[in-house]
């Protein structure tokens, strides 16, 4: 009689299908966030070594397509892919065929012809990442679509908070400023609430969308409300996204005077965050930006390891093995 052998794999729970894209924080559950932050932590340890490159994504191709300006997001995605040994290609709308009127669909079809494994896209229009997902077989990462979502920013913010304050659950975060035009605010409200933090939005009424409390946050129109928070998250005045001729605030000078985050408006020990780019002297006083309690540089550092974790997570097989595999790769490399 034939011998029946039980293979090790037979004893493991069935693998969940791999998550295809990261388009919104709404795509994630608590356990996904915890896994991604854990993987980022492992990568951070690997970067402490002299040789910073890991062989993990050798042979994979990551394409970055940016239709809007970016310093932090585009550079960190590119470096993240390189640190994992993937081949990278960066395309900016200026200087590409987009300048000649090529549609997003045609650009997606063109890039898709190279069979990239991941396309990272930033675009001023909401829904652009879904469109690229429809016309290519690549995993899509949303690096910012209009004022809708910027999921990797929210993940790197969670990572920064957890590293600096030791936890996320139970913390109170005040997000202050131009919430109306901010994809960072929308992604962070979802991400912080998902992980058990309390969120209060603070700003002048024209810059706080009506009904946003439905996302699970509180609203205050008093700048003094930031004093009650553990973390004060400052948003840029996003003038390029404001409707022409609309007067959301009388002037930037007036905004700075009434809503700017200054040392006097903070209490000692409060942590301050900003996604960048900062307008010093408008939404944030330079003294606050340069103080020891500002986590702004840490946010940039977190961006690299969190984006490495996102690329790794999308390109490995399913959630179950990711943490163990990451540890194995890092240990073995
Ligand atoms: C963004 O891309 O939304 C930035 O990171 C934040 C900003 O532009 O103010």
Q: pLDDT of 1-37, one tens digit each?
A: 556 565 565 556 555 455 589 999 999 999 999 999 9
Catalytic residue among 19, 41, 53, 72: 72
DSSP conformation class of 293: T
Alpha helices in the chain, H assignment, sequence order: 8-11, 30-46, 72-83, 104-112, 128-135, 151-165, 183-194, 252-259, 286-290, 296-315, 322-332
- How many Cβ atoms from other residues are within 10 Å of residue 287's Cβ? 12
3-state secondary structure labels for all residues of 207-236: HCCCCHHHHCCEEECCHHHHHHCCEEEECC
Q: Which residues line ligand 1 (CB under 6 A)?
A: 144, 150, 153, 183-184, 236, 238, 275
Alpha-carbon span 62 to 311, nearest angstrom: 9
- Report the SS3 class of residue 202: strand
Q: How far is CA 247 from CA 204, 244, 255, 278, in A?
A: 12, 9, 12, 21
Mean predicted confidence (pLDDT) in 63-67? 96
Residue 196's φ and ψ, nearest 5 degrees, are 90, 15
Alpha-carbon span 154 to 146, nearest angstrom: 15
pLDDT at 13: 57
pLDDT at 239: 87
Angle between helices 151-165 and 296-315 (to 10 degrees): 120
The residues that bridge with 174 in the sheet, in sequence order, are: 200, 232
Q: pLDDT of 269-312, one tens digit each?
A: 999 999 999 999 999 999 999 999 999 999 999 999 999 999 99
pLDDT at 332: 37
Q: pLDDT of 109-134, one tens digit each?
A: 999 999 999 999 999 999 999 999 99
Q: pLDDT of 146-186, one tens digit each?
A: 999 999 999 999 999 999 999 999 999 999 999 999 999 99
Is 280 assigned a catalytic role?
A: no
Q: Which residue bears the tokens 């933090």?
A: 197
Domains in the chain (CATH in brackets) are 19-149+302-326 (3.40.50.1370), 151-239+250-298 (3.40.50.1370)
Find out whether 144 and 121 touch, Cβ atoms under 8 Å: no
Task: Give just the sign of the alpha carbon dihedral 157, 249, 180, 119.
Answer: negative
Q: pLDDT of 209-255, one tens digit each?
A: 999 999 999 999 999 999 999 999 999 999 888 888 788 999 999 99
pLDDT at 7: 58
Q: How far is the CA of 80 from the centre of ligand 1 (A)?
A: 19
Cα angle 121-127-130, degrees, rounded to a multiple of 5: 70
Confidence of residue 321 (pLDDT cuts 50, 70, 90): very low
Alpha-carbon span 103 to 174, nearest angstrom: 39
Is 72 assigned a catalytic role?
A: yes
Two tokens, residue 283: 């939404």
Two tokens, residue 39: 């993987």
Pocket test residue of 67, 125, 151, 236 for ligand 1, highest count of atoms within 8 A of CB? 236
pLDDT at 9: 57
Task: Report the atom number in ligand 1 closest to the C-alpha of 73.
Answer: 5
Q: Is the pLDDT of residue 322 over 60?
A: no
Query: Does the predicted TM-score (pTM) go above 0.75?
Result: yes
Of 309, 314, 310, nearest to 330 (Cα)? Answer: 309
Q: pLDDT of 202-211, one tens digit each?
A: 999 999 999 9
Two tokens, residue 322: 């990711």
pLDDT at 101: 76
Alpha-carbon span 140 to 129, nearest angstrom: 7
């Amino acid at each position: 009689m034939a011998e029946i052998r039980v293979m090790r794999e037979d004893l493991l729970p069935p693998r969940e299908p791999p998550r295809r894209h990261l388009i919104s924080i709404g795509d994630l559950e608590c356990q996904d966030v915890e896994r991604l932050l854990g993987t980022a932590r492992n990568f951070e340890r690997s970067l402490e070594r002299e040789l910073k490159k890991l062989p993990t994504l050798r042979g994979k191709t990551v394409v970055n397509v940016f239709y809007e300006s970016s310093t932090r997001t585009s550079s960190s995605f590119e470096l993240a892919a390189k640190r994992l040994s993937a081949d990278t290609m960066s395309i900016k709308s200026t200087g590409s065929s987009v300048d000649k009127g090529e549609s997003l669909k045609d650009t997606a079809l063109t890039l898709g012809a190279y069979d990239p494994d991941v396309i990272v896209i930033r675009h001023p229009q909401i829904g652009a990442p879904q469109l690229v997902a429809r016309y290519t077989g690549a995993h899509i990462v949303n690096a910012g679509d209009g004022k809708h979502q910027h999921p990797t920013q929210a993940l790197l913010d969670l990572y920064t908070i957890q590293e600096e304050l030791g936890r996320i659950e139970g913390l109170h975060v005040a997000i202050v400023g131009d919430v109306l035009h901010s994809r960072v605010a929308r992604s962070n409200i979802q991400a912080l609430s998902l992980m058990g933090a309390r969120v209060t939005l603070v700003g002048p009424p024209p810059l706080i969308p009506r009904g946003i409390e439905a996302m699970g946050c509180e609203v205050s129109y008093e700048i003094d409300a930031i004093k009650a928070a553990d973390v004060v998250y400052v948003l840029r005045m996003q003038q390029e996204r404001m409707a022409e001729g609309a007067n959301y605030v009388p002037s930037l000078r007036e905004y700075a005077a009434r809503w700017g985050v200054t040392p006097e408006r903070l209490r000692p020990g409060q942590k301050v965050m900003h996604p960048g780019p900062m307008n010093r002297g408008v939404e944030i006083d330079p003294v606050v930006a340069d103080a020891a309690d500002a986590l702004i540089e840490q946010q940039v550092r977190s961006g690299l390891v969190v984006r490495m974790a996102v690329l790794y997570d999308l390109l490995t097989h399913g959630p179950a093995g990711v943490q163990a595999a990451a540890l194995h790769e890092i240990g073995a490399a």
